[in-house]
């Protein structure tokens, strides 16, 4: 029974680590949006600080998740899809920021109004939810 308890404790620790990492990914995703929107509203480059921090945190968190999932091919496949969605989100945000920097404010706002950023955020959050649900299932 002590061996079973040790295995259970290991799984619980693993799941908690993954849940912390997915929470960090959620926060980082929202930070990119906060910084991008602040910049668009103010035209002040200092508002891009949360955007830059969020981008860096997303990359770091994806690396941590990759290491955490190295032994699980099913979760690794989910992580690959999550990585694709994160990359698309960041590319969209970068394009919108670039439009603003080049003086194309109306074009940047039009991209936001079309819901491009929102669609990627919702896509990331849905994938994170699936990721977390699978981890909870594995723990159970």
Q: Which of 85, 84, 86 is nearest to 56 (CA)?
A: 86
pLDDT of 139 above 80: no
Tokens of 81: 């899809």
Task: Say if CB 83 and CB 51 are below 8 A apart.
Answer: no
| CA-derived radius of gyration, the chain | 18
User: What confidence score (pLDDT) does residue 5 get?
Assistant: 78
**Among the ranges 8-12, 64-68, 134-138, which has the highest mean pLDDT value?**
64-68
- Among 6-15, 37-46, 95-104, the range scoring the smallest mean pLDDT is 6-15
Q: Which of 59, 91, 65 is nearest to 78 (CA)?
A: 65
Summarize the confidence of residues 20-40 as an average pLDDT: 93
CA 130 to chain centre: 13
Task: Say if CB 32 and CB 90 are below 8 A apart.
Answer: yes
Tokens of 47: 């508002």
Averaged confidence pLDDT in the chain: 90
CA 117 to chain centre: 13
- Residue 113 burial (CB count, 10 A): 8
| pTM of the entire predicted model | 0.85
Summarize the confidence of residues 98-118 as an average pLDDT: 92
User: What confidence score (pLDDT) does residue 11 get?
Assistant: 75
Q: What percent of the chain has pLDDT over 90?
A: 61
Summarize the confidence of residues 39-44 as an average pLDDT: 93
Residue 68: pLDDT band with limits 50, 70, 90 = confident
Tens of pLDDT along 119-136? Answer: 888 999 999 998 889 888
């Amino acid at each position: 029974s002590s061996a079973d308890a040790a295995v259970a404790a290991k799984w619980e620790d693993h799941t908690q680590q993954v849940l912390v990492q997915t929470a960090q990914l959620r926060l980082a995703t929202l930070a990119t949006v906060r910084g991008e929107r602040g910049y668009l509203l103010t035209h002040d480059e200092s508002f891009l600080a949360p955007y830059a921090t969020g981008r860096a945190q997303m990359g770091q968190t994806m690396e941590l998740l990759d290491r955490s999932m190295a032994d699980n091919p099913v979760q690794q496949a989910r992580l690959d899809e999550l990585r694709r969605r994160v990359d698309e989100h960041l590319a969209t945000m970068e394009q919108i920021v670039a439009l603003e920097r080049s003086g194309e404010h109306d074009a940047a706002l039009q991209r936001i109004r079309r819901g491009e950023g929102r669609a990627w955020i919702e896509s990331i959050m849905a994938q994170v939810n699936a990721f977390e649900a699978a981890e909870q299932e594995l723990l159970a």
